[in-house]
Amino acid sequence: MIKDYNQLIVSVDQHVSHALQILDETGSGIVLVCDDNSLLQGVITNGDLRRQITLGASLISECVTSVMQKKFISAEEKCDKEQAMQIMLQHGLQHLPVLSSKGRLVGLRFLDDFLAIAKQLANPVVIMAGGLGTRLGQLTVDTPKPMLLIKGRPLLEILVAKLRSCGFTNIYLSVGYRKDQIKAHFRDGSDFGVNINYLEEDFPLGTAGALRKMIGLLSLPVVVVNGDILSKIDFAELVSEHNKDKARDASIGLRSYKVAIPYGVVDLVEDKVIQFLEKPLIEKYVNAGIYVFNPDLLSEIPSGVDFGMDSFLNVLLEKGYEIKGFRISDYWIDIGSPSTFHDAQQSWLEE
């Protein structure tokens, strides 16, 4: 199949016979009708022509403008691959024209390209989406934090699309605060190309407590993701790294974080000065809110209580489980405050 969109273009004054020839020779399933300025005027698919022929239309000598779809769905040039795939899945499209801000054709996305790249993985994913989001103040009074809009799309929708693009389709949403909004938006997940089930909290269970509901449902390591992060991480690579190390019980995503100390720092041994550093930049790795756990670990979570992820990880370490870090160099941001929410609005699609 030819994927060079330039070979799929016909001009507005050409006949349907030419469009048929392109469809037959390329196997692309779509023809793009443009004017002399490369402005996309319409699209023609195999299905369009079949419907016309079924109705008894004689098309060969007709102009392409008589059979093209003048109302079509397209993507903006800045649209990233996860968003493009989401548009195609939601509308049942195999192709998605990409247009400049002036309507010029600049590309064409194919759904099968995404699905071929994203080998389907059976590992379940739990997204923790039940928190109150109190640090975000007025932003979350009426809206659960994972449903806040980033460039016009709910944060949680972006995360689900990213997981789908990495091959994960078996998703559980742990929901609590204003859960009806989340359930009404995602339903069973079919509109987003995934299967979604819900872990419902009748009272807050903390950042790890709801995972206990997964006991008995797992035969593979489970990916756990905080519902308030935005990242370009390759989740499939994370699971692959986890599986390579048979001694590993859990993996935790780590992000480098640097803090500038605005003073001279003195290192001491007892009261002896051994080093003086002027305004040093300290680098540490912080928890990125992304984990992989082997199924048996979840039995260490107590039932029916508020149990944080920090407590869970410390229990695992105390009991001798092997936890290893996965360093994240991709774009990552935690939407935990009004300032980081603003930062995400500015930076997300620029990545």
Select from 116, 136, 167 the last residue of a domain.
116
pLDDT tens digits, one per residue of 327-342: 999 899 999 899 999 8
Average pLDDT over residues 154-165: 91
Within 13 Å and on the Cβ side, how many CA atoms surround 209?
A: 17
Same domain, 225 and 280: yes
Same domain, 343 and 220: yes
pLDDT tens digits, one per residue of 82-120: 788 878 877 778 889 999 988 899 999 988 776 655 567
DSSP symbols for 98-120: EE-TTSBEEEEEEHHHHHHHS--
In this structure, what CATH number is given to the domain that contains residue 50? 3.10.580.10
Select from 84, 116, 148 the last residue of a domain.
116
Question: Tokens 């986890």 — which residue?
Answer: 242
Same domain, 151 and 45: no
Same domain, 296 and 336: yes
Q: How far apart are CA 253 and CA 191, in angstroms?
A: 29
Same domain, 251 and 324: yes
Same domain, 296 and 330: yes
Q: How deeply is 68 buried, as exposed, middle or buried, from its count of CB atoms within 10 A (0-12, 13-18, 19+)?
A: buried
In this structure, what CATH number is given to the domain that contains residue 164? 3.90.550.10
- End-to-end alpha carbon distance in the chain: 30
How many domains, the chain?
2
Domain holding 111, by residue range, is 5-116
Confidence band for 153, pLDDT divided at 50, 70 and 90: confident
Same domain, 314 and 285: yes
pLDDT tens digits, one per residue of 292-336: 999 999 999 998 888 999 999 999 999 999 999 999 998 999 998
| Residue-level pLDDT at 117 | 53
Q: How far apart are CA 22 and CA 30, in angstroms?
A: 9
The strand pairing partners of 278, in sequence order, are 264
Same domain, 274 and 188: yes
Same domain, 102 and 157: no
Same domain, 182 and 277: yes
